[in-house]
Amino acid sequence: MATAAAHGHSSDKNYLNETSGIWSWLTTLDHKRIGIMYFISVMFFFLLGGIMALLLRLELMSPGPTIMTADTYNQVMTYHGAIMVFMVIIPGIPAILGNFFLPIHIGAKDVAFPKLNLLSWYLLMTGALLAFSTLFTHKIDTGWTFYTPYSIKTGTSVVTMVIAAFIMGMSSILTGLNFIATVHKLRAPGMTMYRIPLFVWALYSTAILQVLATPVLGITLLLLSVERAFGVGIFDPALGGDPVLFQHFFWFYSHPAVYIMILPAMGVVSELIATFSRKTIFGYTAIAYSSLGIAGVSFFVWGHHMFVSGQSATAGIVFSFITMLVGVPTAIKMFNWIATMYKGSVQMQSPMLYALGFLFLFAIGGVTGIMLAVLPIDVHFHDTYFVVAHFHYVMVGGTLMAIMGGFFYWFPKMFGKMYNEATARLSFVFIFIGFNVTFFPQFVLGAMGMPRRYFDYIPAYHSLNTISTVGSWLIATGFLIGLYTIINGLMKGEKAPANPWGGKTLEWTTTSPPPHFNFDVEPVITAGPYEYR
Amino acid sequence: MSTDSHSAHGHEHHYAHHFRSAEHEYLTSKEGIWLFMVTEILMFGGLFVGYSIFHNIYPEMFAEGAKSLDWKMGFINTLVLIFSSLTMALGIFFLQKNQPKKAAMSLAITILCGAIFMVIKYLEYTHKFHLGLFPGRYLDVAKVGAEHANLGMYFGFYYCMTGLHGIHVLLGMCLISWCLFRTIRGDFNPNYYTAVEGVGIFWHIVDLIWIFLFPLLYLVG
Amino acid sequence: MVHSHEDSQGHHITPFVVYLKVAGALFLLTFLTVIAHHFNQQLGVLAAPVAFMIATIKAILVILWFMHLKYDSVTNRVIFGAGFFFLALLLAFSGLDIWTRVVEYSTL
């Protein structure tokens, strides 16, 4: 069992009160504080992106203009996507929970490059500020995917926004770089790669994607800016260019990006299920390698976003086939998680509820993804609400569930306080039910042919859209209850013990909150991370 | 992060607290540098991919554009950069051998080579501007007498690729200048020269990219 | 100082004369590139691959010796190589699309 000196420190000093004042936070090199700063920023961005979503759903409640014009709809739709993708889900788990716990999980005092870590946060904030500035200049309306030729022609602040995305991409690259070096070089003695928690395997695989894929987004956005500024003609068909090439370049990053979004979430789920089943994870090696496998295969499938773009049939068939392969490592994880619970001693506290919610919702999202991988089916479903429902099931039903579960799981460790379990469970109920009410009808709408990104629709789609909008209010309520739970816990929560859940990974051997240097004595590892029985 | 070594005679290097030794910090830093270089390769590589594809689609238009490039200028620039890579590597070599004065000299020559490269680049650019060879829609097809209507695409690629490369040359020169300053100040010794090695690897990447740019733009056309 | 296997890896000093030899080879290969260019007409469709191959050899020299990758860890070699692999992937699949497109004419 892992040994670490948790009781050595008699004083009340921890990373939160080690130094005080806002300047000590803004210049901190402590990975835990940086994680908290990301937590606050990302939560704020999520609120903004969420408000955009509520506005969209309000507009779509009935046909015709309800609360906004068509142009405004295109703008709100774009900002919802851009904010959620670049400012919430991609940084999300790695930057918040990864920053906080990766070093602790491997027995290290910090990440490999603490100054770069702080720089990553500043880059995200700079990019976000620049992105929000476009709300005051010419709001963009291209969709978060910036497809050409419209993104070349539109008179909105596309260049500013893509520069913002470029800067946020740099933030992501540096985080990934930091994590790879940390996992390679800073593991405590005895912490072999097969003893690191699965959360670390997930973050490691994600980091590889961040480093290898994001630069291509960088050059794509640069080329788009050049195209707008000089009319070079690479992506503009009127000038002899190829708009599909833009899509190739864009999705070469953006498909691995969706795995940047989901892999860390799967890592969190592995932790939650092992701890709350009081059982060692089933198939540790398989789950570890499946993370790497998903990361690897993710580079070969981007064309499945382009089946109807004008891409050749040959390329489409190749992409379709390889896409189906990615279901294999993903399914391995799902089965292993369920097998972990089998004959385990399952505790149903709120983090576990979120983990179970993940299993259910991600299964639906994943299976519909396989459906979309089938080329002829996608020809029918592309750009309909079926796709919208699919990716919300995996990103919200998947990643967001995992973030919530992770937040509640690690809240006592991060802040030294317990939150109110009852309100946390209530938030889960609202989010889970609300999510299905919002997005399941969208599968049906998509099958019925309702196009996505459209401001208006035929009356036949009316009732399902109304149901979907009501669902969005339920989700919002759930997140507000969750926010209340967090704030209430911070202000009035009971003092948390070192290990409220009976977890076996290294963070539970230190105090809640952890001391500034994580461990008083460098731990020596003699066993795996889930040695329950 | 690492703090500078204090004394020349002790050759002590104070490494950051989360590392086990100076060596541990050095090896980790090197890995970080290589990880960053991968991103540079992928970023520039995207431009190469785009160029290759369109070169294949519009071979005659690309040939026309390439005609305006003077291979001799590109050739000289290639030799200049290769020489600067040599002097950069020697800069690190002399630091390893505890010969900081020669190291400083090598770094200074490297910066000079970078400057020569940029001057030649400047001459090439101004010559093209003089001929009206601007990127994209700014190339007046009639005025230039172009045979192909989308000749602007060629120059879009040309200025993008050489321009982005040029920015990296300037960045490299700044970084090497900072290393030169620190060398003169006595920051480095045979046990600690990580920053110079890192900057050196960056500079070699800049050389590497040019090694491919030269034949691609000037020769193959 | 602890002398571990990593030590020799970390601080390998390439001899001065090796640097000169590599630089010399690079100069030579640059001349070769230009000479090959003068045979562009005769090489025809081989002109580009030949130029690219010479450039690759030069790149390998720079990477192995000037950038020290020959004496560095396997990890760093894999990391750097991965970049080129995925770049090739981008070209391969984008190319696969573009060069297998079939021109279709509208029946309308």
Which DSSP string corresponds to A411-448?
HHHHHSB---HHHHHHHHHHHHHHHHHHHHHHHHHHHH
Residue C32 resides in a domain: yes
Q: What are the tokens at B39?
A: 């991103």
CB nearest to C90's CB, from A252, A311, A313:
A252
* Residue C106, pLDDT score: 85
Q: Would you say residue B94 lies in a domain?
A: yes
* Residue B15, both tokens: 């490494």
Domain extent, residue C78, equals: 73-102
Is residue A64 left, alpha or beta, with left meaning phi > 0 and alpha meaning psi from -120 to 50?
Answer: left
- Residue found under tokens 């459906």: A371
CA distance A428 to chain B (A): 39
Residue in chain B closest to A242 (alpha carbons) equals B54
- State whether C22 and C65 are in the same domain: yes
Length, in residues, of chain C: 108
> What is residue A527's predicted lDDT score, i.e. its pLDDT?
87
Cβ contacts of C13 on chain B, cutoff 8 Å: 93, 96-97
Instruction: Tell which of B153, B158, B194 to mutate to test the A interface (max A CBs under 10 Å).
Output: B153
Question: pLDDT value at position A251?
Answer: 97
Same domain, C39 and C78: no
Taking the C-alpha atoms of residue C90 and residue C97, their distance in angstroms, rounded to an integer, is 11
Interchain CB contact of A249 with C (< 8 Å): yes
- Considering the domain boundaries, does residue A525 fall inside one? no
Closest CB to A239: pick one of B134, B138, B150: B150
Which residues of chain A neighbour B53 with C-beta distances below 8 Å?
Answer: 242, 245
The reply to whether C30 and C54 lie within a common domain is: yes
Contact yes or no for B170/B1 (Cβ under 8 A)? no
Q: At what angle do helices A462-492 and A31-59 cross, to 10 degrees?
A: 150
Same structural domain for residues C30 and C82? no
Check if A216 contacts C (Cβ < 8 Å).
yes
Residue B58: give its domain's CATH number: 1.20.120.80
Number of domains in chain A: 1
In a domain, A1, yes or no: no
Domain assignment present for residue C108? The answer is no
What count of other Cβ atoms lies within 10 Å of the Cβ of residue A78?
Answer: 23
- CATH code for the domain in which residue A302 is found: 1.20.210.10
Count of A-C CB contacts under 8 Å: 45
C91·B34 Cβ contact <8 A: no
Smallest Cβ–Cβ distance between A248 and the set C75, C86, C94 belongs to: C94
Domain that holds residue B86: 22-220
User: Is C29 in the same domain as C55?
Assistant: yes
Residue B10 lies in a domain: no
Cβ partners under 8 Å of residue B206, min gap 6: B81, B165, B168, B169, B172
Q: Is residue C4 located within the same domain as residue C51?
A: yes
* Domain contains A531: no
C97 and C67 both lie in a single domain: no
Are C55 and C10 in a shared domain? yes
Please tell me whether residue A516 adopts helix, strand or coil conformation.
Answer: coil
**Distance of alpha carbon A499 from alpha carbon C36, whole angstroms:** 70
- Do residue A219 and residue B46 have CB atoms under 8 angstroms apart? yes
Question: Which residues have a Cβ under 8 Å from the Cβ of B185 and sit 6 or more positions away?
Answer: none
**CB-CB contact of A378 with A452 (8 Å):** no
Please give the residue of chain B at the shortest CA–CA distance from A209: B39
pLDDT > 70 in chain B, percent = 94
Residues A156, A141 contacting (CB under 8 angstroms): yes
Question: Residue C85: its chain B contacts at CB < 8 A?
Answer: none
Q: How far apart are CA A437 and CA A360, in angstroms?
A: 14
Exposed (0-12), middle (13-18) or buried (19+): which is A343, by Cβ within 10 Å?
exposed
pLDDT of residue A522: 84
A106 touches chain B (CB under 8 A): no
Q: Confidence class of residue B187 from pLDDT cuts 50, 70 and 90?
A: very high
Determine the residue among A219, A254, A521 to mutate to test chain B binding: the one whose Cβ has the most chain B Cβ atoms within 10 Å: A219
Rounded (10°) angle between helices A350-373 and A327-341:
150
Cis peptide before A237 (omega within 30 of 0): no
Same domain, C46 and C95: no
Binary contact (A216, B35; C-beta < 8 A): no
- Domain check: are C28 and C62 in the same one? yes
pLDDT for the residue A11? 59
Q: Is the pLDDT of residue B10 over 80?
A: no
**Exposure string (b/e) for B160-172, b if CB count within 10 Å is 16 or more?**
bbbebbbebbeeb
pLDDT score for B90 = 96
Residue A54, C-beta contacts closer than 8 angstroms, at least 6 positions apart:
A472, A473, A476
Number of independent structural domains in chain C: 2
> Is there a domain that residue A463 lies in?
yes
Q: How far is CA A223 from CA A249, B156, B157, in A?
A: 10, 10, 9
Please tell me the distance from the alpha carbon of residue A249 to that of residue A254, in angstroms, as a whole number: 9
In a domain, A405, yes or no: yes
A 10 A CB-CB count for C7 gives 15
Output b/e per residue, B174-202; b: 16+ Cβ within 10 A: ebbbebbebbeeebbbebbbbbbbbbbbb
Placement of tokens 């911070």 in the chain: A490
Place of tokens 């003893």: A195
Give the C-alpha separation, A296 to B12, whole Å.
Answer: 42
Residue listed under structure tokens 């937590």: A39
C97 contacts in A (CB within 8 Å)?
244, 248, 303, 311-312, 314-315
The two structure tokens encoding residue B5: 């070594």
Q: What is the arithmetic mean of pLDDT over B175-197?
A: 95
The pLDDT of residue C21: 96
Of chain C, the percentage scoring pLDDT greater than 70 comes to 91
Task: Tell me: pLDDT of C4 over 60.
Answer: no
Instruction: Check residue B9 and give its pLDDT.
Output: 46
Give dist(CA B174, CA B183) in Å, integer.
Answer: 14
Give the separation between CA B101 and CA A368, rounded to whole angstroms: 66
Which of B77, B86, B196 has the most C C-beta neighbours within 10 Å, making it the best mutation to test the interface with C? Answer: B86
Tokens 């005080």 locate to A20
A415 lies in some domain: yes
pLDDT band at B16 (very low <50, low <70, confident <90, very high): confident
Residue A310, domain extent: 23-509
Which two three-digit tokens encode residue A320?
A: 């379709």
The answer for residues whose C-beta is within 8 angstroms of residue A122's C-beta and 6 or more apart is none
Calpha distance A209→A203 (Å, rounded): 10
pLDDT tier, C10 (very low <50, low <70, confident <90, very high otherwise): low
pLDDT tens for A262-290 read 999 999 999 999 999 999 999 999 999 99
Output the DSSP codes for A239-297.
GT--HHHHHHHHHHHHHHHHHHHHHHHHHHHHHHHHHHTTSPPTTHHHHHHHHHHHHHH
Residue B161 is assigned to a structural domain of this protein: yes
B136 and C CB contact within 8 Å:
no
Q: Which of A212, A300, A314 is facing C100, going by the closest CB pair? A: A314
Enumerate the β-bridge partners of residue B113: none
pLDDT at C3: 39
Give chain A positions within 8 Å (CB) of C83: 212
Cβ–Cβ contact C89 with A under 8 A: yes
Judged by CB atoms closer than 8 Å, whether chains meet at C27 and B41 is answered as no
Cβ of B135 within 8 Å of Cβ of A230? The answer is yes
Q: At what angle do helices B22-57 and B59-67 cross, to 10 degrees?
A: 110
Domain identity same for C36 and C57: yes
pLDDT at C42: 84
Residue A300 pLDDT: 96
Cβ distance of B37 and C1 shorter than 8 Å: no
Q: What is the pLDDT of residues B72-121, one digit of tens each?
A: 999 999 999 999 999 999 999 999 999 999 999 999 999 999 999 999 99
Contacts of C49 (CB under 8 A, 6+ apart): none
A530 in a domain, yes or no? no
DSSP, res A384: B
The answer to whether residues C39 and C87 belong to one domain is no
> ∠ CA(C11), CA(C15), CA(C21), 5° rounding?
130
Per-residue pLDDT of chain A (533 residues; tens, 9 = 90+): 444 444 444 457 889 988 889 999 999 999 999 999 999 999 999 999 999 999 999 999 999 999 999 999 999 999 999 999 999 999 999 999 999 999 999 999 999 999 999 999 999 999 999 999 999 999 999 999 999 999 999 988 999 999 999 999 999 999 999 999 999 999 999 999 999 999 999 999 999 999 999 999 999 999 999 999 999 999 999 889 999 999 999 999 999 999 999 999 999 999 999 999 999 999 999 999 999 999 999 999 999 999 999 999 999 999 999 999 999 999 999 999 999 999 999 999 999 999 999 999 999 999 999 999 999 999 999 999 999 999 999 999 999 999 999 999 999 999 999 999 999 999 999 999 999 999 999 999 999 999 999 999 999 999 999 999 999 999 999 999 999 999 999 999 999 999 999 999 999 999 999 999 998 888 898 888 888 76
First to last CA, chain C: 80
∠ CA A462-A366-A80 to the nearest 5 degrees? 50
Write out pLDDT tens, residues A447-498. 999 999 999 999 999 999 999 999 999 999 999 999 999 999 999 999 999 9
Cis status of the peptide bond prior to B190, with omega within 30 of 0? no
CB contact under 8 A, B85 and C62: yes
The answer to whether C52 contacts chain A (CB < 8 Å) is: no
Q: Helix, strand, coil proportions of chain A in percent (round to 5)?
A: 70, 0, 30
Report if residue B16 sits inside a domain. no
- How many structural domains comprise chain B? 1
Whether residue B41 and residue C37 make contact (CB cut-off 8 A), yes or no, is no
Q: Is residue A523 part of a domain?
A: no
* Interchain CB distance below 8 Å, C91 and B207: no
